[in-house]
Each structure stands twice: as C-alpha cells, then as structure tokens.
Amino acid sequence: KQEVTQIPAALSVPEGENLVLNCSFTDSAIYNLQWFRQDPGKGLTSLLLIQSSQREQTSGRLNASLDKSSGRSTLYIAASQPGDSATYLCAVRRYGGSQGNLIFGKGTKLSVKP
Amino acid sequence: EAGVAQSPRYKIIEKRQSVAFWCNPISGHATLYWYQQILGQGPKLLIQFQNNGVVDDSQLPKDRFSAERLKGVDSTLKIQPAKLEDSAVYLCASSISTGGYYGYTFGSGTRLTVV
C-alpha cells in the first residue's frame, strides 16, 4: 500500500530564507509526482509535475526534485515571501490500481514572516 | 483556459439532511474525480469518471453518497443523509488523460459543515 509522508508538518521562516519541503513515499512504482499549494479554505493549485523518468522540474523560484529509488521528493523554495504562506501537498500517481488515484501526503503548513 | 468550476463554495446543513455539489471540469477533460479532504488530512479519492462511466468508486460510501456525470461533462455529488463526519472540503478535479499523465487540475472546493 502506497503511503506518502511529508515532513515537517509545519514550518515558520523569516522572509527571504531559502527552504526545503520533504515528501517521501513507500512504493517507488509511481507514474508521476505532483506538488500542490493550498491556501486556507481554498482548492489545490498545481505547482510542479514530475514524471517518473524525470529528476527535477523548475518554475520560477520553485524547484522540485524526484529520487524514485529512494522514494523521495523535495520542493525547494528560493527567497521565500509572505505570499508563499500556504499548505504544500505532494501527491503520487501510482501504477496499477485505480488509474487516476492520487495518493496525498498530509501537507506541510508554511508560514513566512515579514 | 477556464478552470474547474464548483458550487456552492460553502454549505452548512444539519445531520440527516441531504446536500448536492456540482462540478464542471475543464473543457475537453474526459476524466473527472471527486475527492474528500477532512481537516488536517490530504484529499482522498471518492470516485473517478471516464466520460460518463465510473472507473473507480471503491472508496465511496455508497449507502449515503452518490455521484453521476450525465453526458460526460459536468457532475453532481450527493450525500443523503449527511453525518457529522461528512464535514470536509469536497474537491473536484479533472485531467485530460485517463492516467493523469499531464497532471490534475482541481477546483476551489465546497466546504461542507454538518451540525
């Protein structure tokens, strides 16, 4: 059974700091991995999608890496801003089973202080 | 491109009442998903549609939850009767491919409170 864990559960940093959010998964047989952002009371906004054959993806100040063999992904946020405050969720799309079933972690709640 | 539309945004009902949520996916997206997100948890899949057919409803509590996707476009999720533990955010998502190769797009969700 695929399980996704995100550490830390919460993180508070001063503005301008570079930071790393971690995501680990128990079954390396994944199709892809997606990072989402969720603002309080809102839906999910897709940040980055990494296919299983890729090592990393970048978008602006965000960089996500994927190491399938070790079951890990990291989301790197450069020069953090108060507007980055949100909950960040990672989700893996697994092979087999339900074709579209994304397995989510519980998220990391990020707070960037001005 | 218009996103995934959901309504209502918020709903408060008493236990044992019924409620319905609506979702309109991105145009051209054949696959539609309903997820339930309980506070402090990651979303959990309830049901997946491919066009107007059900692909996976193994985690849908069928004694009280039902969903349909008539004409393979928009979808409705219903709860009848509601329980306190159904309080959650209900998220609709769509993808252009069955396997989600190009990722998933989520709507803003409907926050349900059962009192």
Give residue-wise pLDDT tens across range A32-63: 999 999 998 888 999 999 999 999 999 999 99
Residue A64 has pLDDT above 90, yes or no: yes
Which one of A99, A108, A109 makes the best mutation probe of the B interface by having the most chain B beta carbons within 10 Å?
A99
Give the nearest partner residue to A106 out of B42, B56, B58, using CB atoms. B42
Question: How confident is the model at residue A1, as a pLDDT?
Answer: 83
Residue B96 has pLDDT above 90, yes or no: no
Pairing of strands B5-7, B19-24: antiparallel
Residue A99 has pLDDT above 60, yes or no: no
Q: State how far the Cα of A1 lies from the Cα of A21, in Å rounded to an integer.
A: 23
pLDDT band of residue A102 (cuts 50, 70, 90) is: confident
Q: State how far the Cα of A36 lies from the Cα of B109, in Å rounded to an integer.
A: 14
In the A/B pair of chains, how many CB contacts fall below 8 A? 77
Q: Name the residue in chain B with its Cα closest to that of A90.
A: B42
Give the nearest partner residue to B99 out of A31, A36, A45, using CB atoms. A31
Q: What is the pLDDT of residues B26-56, one digit of tens each?
A: 998 989 999 999 998 999 999 999 988 998 8
Q: Look at B106 and A43 and tell me if their CB atoms are within 8 Å.
A: yes
User: Which chain A residues are within 8 Å of B103, Cβ to Cβ?
Assistant: 32, 34, 46, 49
Q: What is the mean pLDDT of chain A?
A: 93
Give the nearest partner residue to B45 out of A44, A101, A106, using CB atoms. A101
Q: Which of B74, B65, B48 is nearest to B112 (CA)?
A: B65
CA angle B39–B44–B45, rounded 5-degree value: 145
Residue with the two structure tokens 């769509």:
B94
Question: How confident is the model at residue B100, as a pLDDT?
Answer: 67
Give the nearest partner residue to B98 out of A100, A102, A104, using CB atoms. A100
| HEC-encoded secondary structure of chain B | CCCCEEECCEEEECCCCCEEEEEECCCCCCEEEEEEECCCCCCEEEEEEECCEEEECCCCCCCCEEEECHHHCCEEEEECCCCHHHCEEEEEEEECCCCCCCCCEECCCEEEEEC
Q: Name the residue in chain A with its Cα closest to that of B95.
A: A100
CB atoms inside a 10 Å sphere around CB B17: 14
Q: What is the mean pLDDT of chain B?
A: 92
Residue A27 is classified by DSSP as -
Question: How confident is the model at residue A95, as a pLDDT?
Answer: 72
User: Which chain A residues are within 8 Å of B29, Cβ to Cβ?
Assistant: none
Q: State how far the Cα of B101 lies from the Cα of B104, in Å rounded to an integer.
A: 8
Q: State how far the Cα of B94 lies from the Cα of A46, in Å rounded to an integer.
A: 12
Q: Which residues contact B62 (CB under 8 A, 6 or more apart)?
A: none
Q: Which of B22, B105, B2, B25 is nearest to A49 (CA)?
A: B105
**CB proximity B15 to A under 8 Å:** no
User: Which chain B residues are within 8 Å of A91, Cβ to Cβ?
Assistant: 42-43
| Least confident interval from A58-62, B68-72, B110-114 | B68-72
Q: Which of B33, B42, B34 is nearest to B96 (CA)?
A: B33
